[in-house]
Structure 1
Amino acid sequence: MKAFIISKYSKTERLQLTEVPFPEVNDNDILVEVHAAGVNLLDSKIKTGEFKLILPYKLPLILGHDLAGVITKAGKNVKNFKVGDEIYARASDHHIGTFAQFIAINEKDAALKPKNLSMEEAASIPLVALTAWQVLVERAKIKGGQKVFIQAGSGGVGTIAIQLAKHLGAVVATTASAKSFDLLNKLRADFIIDYKNSDFEKMLSNYDVVLNSQDKKTLEKSLRILKSGGKLISISGPPTPDFANEIKAPWFIKIILSLLSSGIRKKAKDRNVDYSFLFMRADGKQLNEITKLIESGIIKPVVDKVFSFEKTNDALSYVESGRAKGKVVIKIK
């Protein structure tokens, strides 16, 4: 089968399209013919080696985390799916590889594809929607009337997080450039701040939750808009010792992450704010809950561009440019 691989970590080398063996299908796995794959900034960060300390992969590696496709084979212990089912999933860490014609994934990572979505739309959902769910539902436990600041509202995570936060009853503020305001109004964001001309720190105060996806400077400014007892949840770092424990990292990684995050953890503690780092995980049960919201029209995918399989490198470059509104998808079949 054909797949896009990396042979070494690099910021400049392109993915290589090559022939690779079909994946092995274990007893709890489903073999999926991939129809479409979502492209995420995480794919770029793994390609450059930025995450090799916390996600050490054996090279060569097939990239890609999101998929939608059809099951062609099921392991003998698979209970929830059968051959012919249309599914979507975020492949779990250390088992990625959706930039390929086929992938074997554990059934617990998958969910039936929403009936009202195309394969391309479905492939845009898993990683960003699970991120939004794990930040807002699982960790922040958002309640009606709370104020939530979601950075970069027109991005992949932002477009889904805004819809989910509004469904949960939150008042939502976000940042974007002026050209994205129409999109964000349709998603029902309450306050939209033009990050090019305005400073959100001067416009927002007394917030309950911040979903941080930007740089260190934005992270520290976000801290100052939160009320005492508020939660600052970052998906862009710095990772914490708690995260090192979650992934069962070696002791020296725990020390490194402790040093990397010591500054923001101290500043958060001084303001009585809870700072945490979230690295989303694959979860088919949560994806089933997200499916219900999609099929009832509460969450709608936002797809910017669909690239052909042969143009996977162009798709990744477009995501890296930061210009995408919503998600970028590769059509494989």
Structure 2
Amino acid sequence: MRAAYIEAFGAIEDVVRVGVRPDPAVRATEVVIQVRSASVNPIDHIVASGALQAVHPVALPLTLGNDAAGVVVGKGEAVTRFKVGDEVYTRVAPVTSGAFADYVAVDQDLVALKPGTIGFDAAASLPLVALTAWQGLVEHAGLSKGQKVLIHAGSGGVGSIAIQLARHLGAHITTTVSADGAAQAREHGAHHVVDYRTEKFEDVDGDFDVVLDTLGGEVQERSYGVLKPGGVLVSTVWVPAAQEAAERHGIRGEPFFMHPSGEQLETLARLVDAGTVRPFIDRAYGLDETADALRHSASKRAKGKIVIRVS
């Protein structure tokens, strides 16, 4: 099969290759998906750089890619949830990757039928960001109707989905974006949009029940002070000092790493088909252009998700 892969760590232009790789081996509980579309996430170029080897080591050569949408073309003998011909989407196992390829083998528990109202590009754009938004707001924050939530980076992949989910949950939503992302954030359901380049979010609004932070650093430090006592800061970027800072401000810190879940993807598919959640795609590339897609992601200029059309 053809795939985009790395044999060493380093700069994208130096290490990303597109060529022939072995077809995936299939375990008893796995389905084989012929990938129609995959999507790019920041984790993809970070992994390629080798920056995560100390905490999440991966073996080389490695086929890149975490999100895929396609058609089931084979399955292990213990698979009961899917049949050949099913159109599905998935966030593959973190230690496996492999979505930037003609075929990927994924455990059935990490797979769901794709939303029927959207195509493969849009479906592939969803898993990692939608699962991150859902788990942050629902599992960890317990966001509920009438609460106030601050969502950072509201025009990014996670942020744009998080705004829509928060709207579905009945929350009052403030988000930080650049000026050119403001219209998109309002369209997705934000009640109050803060241009982070010209405004300080702590000067505009406050007394939040929940902050969703995917940025860390100085933005995270400034976010402690806008939460009401007992509020919760949910973050995908956490350092040891953050917990002490959260306690000092009388709030709850909830660090988390997204975990793949076919069951949650089923829930999200229903929300998409109901019109509650709408994917937003920035640009599509071909498999041979994977390095270009990764560079575009690393530039942080994308508004919405970057998609790779595999077949």
Q: Same fold (TM over 0.5)?
A: yes
Per-residue deviation, residues 298-320 of structure 1 (Å, max 9, x unmatched): 00000111111111111111111
Q: Tell me how far apart the structure 1 counterparts of residues 241 and 34 of structure 2 sit (CA, whole Å).
A: 46
Determine whether 1:91 maps to 2:69: no
Equivalent residue number for residue 242 of structure 2: 264
The RMSD of aligned alpha carbons is 1.0
User: Among residues 288, 292, 315, which one is paired with 2:266 in the alignment?
Assistant: 288
CA deviation after TM superposition for structure 1 residue 186, in Å: 0.9
TM-score between both structures, scaled by the size of structure 1:
0.91
Q: Tell me how far apart the structure 2 counterparts of residues 5 and 185 of structure 1 sit (CA, whole Å).
A: 38
Q: Does the aligned pair in 1 maintain the 2:8–2:15 contact within 8 Å?
A: no
Point out where structure 2 has 5 or more consecutive residues left out of the alignment: none
Determine whether 1:234 maps to 2:212: no
Q: Which piece of structure 1 moves more, 118-127 or 203-212?
A: 203-212
Q: Tell me how far apart the structure 2 counterparts of residues 275 and 304 of structure 1 sit (CA, whole Å).
A: 32
CA deviation after TM superposition for structure 1 residue 52, in Å: 1.8
Per-residue deviation, residues 28-47 of structure 1 (Å, max 9, x unmatched): 00011000001000111111
CA deviation after TM superposition for structure 1 residue 82, in Å: 0.4
Q: Percent identity?
A: 39
Per-residue deviation, residues 258-289 of structure 1 (Å, max 9, x unmatched): xxx33221111111211122110110000000
Q: Does the aligned pair in 1 maintain the 2:9–2:15 contact within 8 Å?
A: no
CA deviation after TM superposition for structure 1 residue 119, in Å: 0.4
Point out where structure 1 has 5 or more consecutive residues left out of the alignment: 239-260
Per-residue deviation, residues 233-266 of structure 1 (Å, max 9, x unmatched): 111x22xxxxxxxxxxxxxxxxxxxxxx332211
Q: Tell me how far apart the structure 1 counterparts of residues 248 and 256 of structure 2 sit (CA, whole Å).
A: 21
Q: Tell me how far apart the structure 1 counterparts of residues 153 and 3 of structure 2 sit (CA, whole Å).
A: 31
Aligned residues: 310
Q: Does the aligned pair in 1 maintain the 2:216–2:235 contact within 8 Å?
A: no
TM-score between both structures, scaled by the size of structure 2:
0.98
CA deviation after TM superposition for structure 1 residue 114, in Å: 0.6
What letter matches 1:270 in structure 2?
A: R
What letter matches 1:160 in structure 2?
A: I
State how 1:80-229 maps to structure 2 within 5 Å: 80-229=81-230
Equivalent residue number for residue 11 of structure 1: 11
Per-residue deviation, residues 125-179 of structure 1 (Å, max 9, x unmatched): 0000000110011111111011111111100001100000010011111111111
Q: Does the aligned pair in 1 maintain the 2:40–2:65 contact within 8 Å?
A: yes
Q: Tell me how far apart the structure 2 counterparts of residues 262 and 119 of structure 1 sit (CA, whole Å).
A: 40
Misfit runs of 4+, over 3 Å: none
